Amino acid sequence: MRFVSTRGTETVTLDRALVNGIAEDGGLYVPVELPVFALDDFATADSIPDVAAVLLKPFFADSSLAGAISQILAETFNFPIPVTSLPTSDGNASLLELYHGPTAAFKDVGAGFLAACLTRLEGDESDPLTILVATSGDTGGAVAAAFNERPGMRVVVLFPDGRVSARQAHQLTCWSDNVLSLSVTGSFDDCQALVKSAMGDTDLASRYRFSSANSINIGRLLPQSTYYADASLRHYRTTGIKPGFVIPTGNLGNALACIMAREMGLPIGPIVLATNANRTIPDYFETLEWIPRASVQTLASAMDVGDPSNMERLRSIIGEADVLRDCLGVLSVDDDQIREEIRRDYTEFGFATCPHTATATYTWRQLDARLRDANDWILVATAHPAKFETVVEPLIGQEVPLPEVLADILSRPSRAVSVEPTLEALAGAMEVHFGQ
């Protein structure tokens, strides 16, 4: 399996795509061609690691990691990912719970997989690899946890100051010395632009050996496709129906993973994207013109993205807006609707949802009745509500129990360095912390 930049023609192996993170021309790596599977290919796959082994085998065909894939998957999927039926009279709906990992967010899957791969490829303590990660909330914590104290690995987490929840901020800043946490006086888009600028700077890249763990790295998307494959296979085997998915999305990585699974032949029906008040994607579908803009701050902070990087991949794999809107739905959900939905979810389902998950449940409820009733739906729960207690608890009038993994994280001391959103400030902070 070879990978090509969305902006060029030079192809690389999976190993090189994982280590590089972003292509030399600034593009994102995509498979030259996606494999296509028959359902019988998964006949003996009864768990997510089993499904992943089948789904990812073609991607690892010429990788030095091929012999270690079983161990990599065992490290990645060491926590449950259940699909829970929802008590509702509005059609058949379930919740895909992606928040049972070490930082209680769906990013744990991709981050764990990438850490397991890169440690095997580049775990040289005398010449460490530096992982740059911009985060609007959950990615940085998941990446920091996955790479924490791994030999030959350093992490620089950039997050927008004042634009993540207090508990999110703590889980971005409580790790060992191989993790540098930077509070950037700007937006997530500023953080993401800094990562791209640093990786494109020849001097910095040679000094620090940069890679990325954002969803710009193909190593994030591949394992995420596997939980969509597993959930859809389980549903189809039981019901004979291809489930639709409603997916909260910001940078489009999680949604693209589902789209890739469907393109590879998995039994997935309609896919609907739920965004927050950042309307870049819905406006693109409406106007057919891609116009990135500054992000706006919302309750669903991890989705506060005004220039989603993975749209470049989506357009490369599927096509432009006139094609995309024929195979995808999208709805923008504002803060007032998120508040209303958190209350309604708690009343109707008997449990709390986080602001991001609430965009999915709201979007599902707003679907045209014919579309909603004609399909079974799996709604994607991306984070545990306890990470957003200051939003959720006043709305439901109850305390959200703290998962053990979050309690452990919050008990650790935290530290962060405040920087301006400039390449000079980033370089200076790295030089002070890492001593080079």
pLDDT digits (tens, 9 = 90+) for 215-248: 889 999 999 999 999 999 999 999 999 999 999 9
Residue 208 — pLDDT band, cuts 50, 70, 90?
Answer: very high
Burial 385-421 (b: 16+ CB within 10 A, else e): bbbbbebbbebbeeebebbebbeebeeeeeebbebeb
Parallel, antiparallel or unpaired: strands 377-381 and 244-248: parallel
Amino acid at 251: N
291 has pLDDT over 90? yes
The whole-number pLDDT of residue 140 equals: 87
Return mean pLDDT, the chain: 94
φ, ψ dihedrals at 289, nearest 5°: -120, 125
Domains of the chain: 81-106+219-405 (3.40.50.1100)
What is the pLDDT confidence band of residue 319, given thresholds at 50, 70 and 90?
very high
**DSSP 8-state class, residue 243:** -
pLDDT band with cut points at 50, 70 and 90 for residue 417 = very high
pLDDT, tens digit, for every residue of 53-111?
A: 999 999 999 999 999 999 999 999 999 999 999 998 777 999 999 999 999 999 999 99
The model's pLDDT over 141-168, given as tens digits with 9 standing for 90+, comes to 899 999 999 999 999 999 999 888 888 8
* Local structure of 429: helix, strand or coil: helix
Going by pLDDT thresholds of 50, 70 and 90, the confidence category of residue 115 is very high
pLDDT at residue 395, as a whole number: 98
Long-range pairs of 365-371 with CB within 8 A, sequence gap ≥ 24: 365/90, 365/341, 366/331, 367/272, 367/329, 371/270
Residue 9, C-beta contacts closer than 8 angstroms, at least 6 positions apart: none
Query: Does the structure show a pLDDT above 90 at 189?
Result: no
Decide: helix, strand or coil at residue 160: strand
